[in-house]
Amino acid sequence: LAKTTQPISMDSYEGQEVNITCSHNNIATNDYITWYQQFPSQGPRFIIQGYKTKVTNEVASLFIPADRKSSTLSLPRVSLSDTAVYYCLVGDTGAGNKLTFGGGTRVLVKP
């Protein structure tokens, strides 16, 4: 199982871009990188998933370097409602892998 390491917490202000980097040095060839957002007392919510290079959707971008040993979630122009814990997971559910959570990054957006 690929282990992930993220910063424990990050502070930001409304309107700024937030970048969270996750290290996954032992990522396997078939593993995908998926990011989730969790609010208190709720289940995690899917944000974005990628395998290599760059992926962008309506809420975030995901940057993955060629060696895939890390990934960076980019949240453009955050708002107060983006205050949450963000988790990166690495694995391949199609191969029956179980996905385990690392510590996550607690992002606090200030006014």
Q: Which of residues 29, 46, 67, 81 is near another protein by CB under 8 A?
A: 46
Q: Which of residues 16, 21, 63, 102 is near another protein by CB under 8 A?
A: 102
Q: Which of residues 15, 17, 51, 59 is near another protein by CB under 8 A?
A: 51
* Best CA proximity match to 101, nearest among 19, 43, 30, 50: 43
Q: Which of residues 20, 36, 78, 88 is near another protein by CB under 8 A?
A: 36
**Structure-token pair, residue 66:** 């060629």
Q: Which of residues 15, 65, 76, 103 is near another protein by CB under 8 A?
A: 103
DSSP string covering 65-98, please?
-TT-SEEEEEE-S--GGG-EEEEEEEE-GGGT--
Buried b (16+ CB within 10 A) or exposed e, 3-32: ebebeeeeebeeeeebebebbbeebeeebb
Return the range that interacts with another protein (CB under 8 A); candidates 16-24, 63-71, 76-84, 91-99.
91-99
**Structure-token pair, residue 9:** 């917490």
**CB nearer to another protein: pick between 2 and 104:** 104
Q: Is there binding between residue 98 and another protein (CB under 8 A)? A: yes
Residues that bind another protein (CB under 8 A): 30, 32, 34, 36, 41-46, 49, 51, 87, 89, 92-96, 98-104
